[in-house]
Chain A
Amino acid sequence: AQSVSQHNHHVILSEAASLELGCNYSYGGTVNLFWYVQYPGQHLQLLLKYFSGDPLVKGIKGFEAEFIKSKFSFNLRKPSVQWSDTAEYFCAVSGSSNTGKLIFGQGTTLQVKP
């Protein structure tokens, strides 16, 4: 079955701490991978995406993610978080053949303490 699993439901960090949010997927075939972020009171926004090429992908606001095909993982990282990174983070996968369907993880709520 196609699925995305995010390891942590709720993460609390202090400012300047490093962040790593886990994401594993189950999907047959070639995949496209995404991280979306939802800041309080705002809509879902694309943080970064991986379609092909360099497995280390850099996104907005200093975030990056690494696609490890052998581990079916696409973990999100940031070296030093800020209070403004407080948000909910969603990992998502789609197949490279277009079905219009994104499969989302359950989301991880990140709370950064000032």
Chain B
Amino acid sequence: EAGVTQSPTHLIKTRGQQATLRCSPISGHTSVYWYQQALGLGLQFLLWYDEGEERNRGNFPPRFSGRQFPNYSSELNVNALELEDSALYLCASSSYRNSPLHFGNGTRLTVT
């Protein structure tokens, strides 16, 4: 089966701009999760979407937002970019609630 796909692979933005990251889950998976992996901070939970609804969010400011489309793909938007937003953003999907997550390769966001 095709895995979780994320685009773009790399993204370079300047401070204050907006970034949009995309994720396609494994076929049949309805839950999508976003994680931030910043240097020295490990993997931090950002957002969880299930059946098109935001179900939970981590301890991140409102300028981190997203949505899930009817085909279960998802978008993560980061507004008013700050230098500390530079990180690897990982998307994961799962087939049912509480089932193990399957991760994509991530989008490396660099803010200059």
Q: Which residues of A contact B (CB under 8 A)?
A: 32, 34, 36, 42-46, 49, 51, 90, 92, 94, 96, 98-107
Q: How many A-B residue pairs have CB under 8 A?
A: 54
Is there contact, CB below 8 Å, between B98 and A32? yes
Q: How large is the interface on B (under 10, 10 to 19, 20 to 34, 35 or more residues)?
A: 20 to 34
Residues of A within 8 Å of B42, CB to CB, are 104-107
Which of B43, B44, B98 contacts A96 (CB under 8 A)?
B98
Cβ A44 vs Cβ B90 within 8 A:
yes
Q: What residues on B are CB-neighbors of A94 within 8 Å? A: 98
**Chain B interface secondary structure, helix, strand, loop or mixed?**
strand
Return 26 A-B CB contacts under 8 Å, by A number.
Answer: A32-B98, A36-B103, A43-B4, A43-B90, A43-B105, A43-B106, A44-B92, A46-B102, A49-B100, A51-B98, A90-B43, A92-B43, A98-B98, A99-B48, A99-B55, A100-B48, A100-B50, A100-B55, A100-B56, A100-B97, A102-B43, A102-B45, A103-B45, A104-B42, A106-B42, A107-B42
CB-based nearest A residue for B55: A100
Residues of chain B contacted by A34 (CB below 8 angstroms): 100
Chain B, range 79-101, C-beta contacts under 8 Å to A: 90, 92, 97-98, 100-101
Contacts of B92 in A (CB 8 A): 44
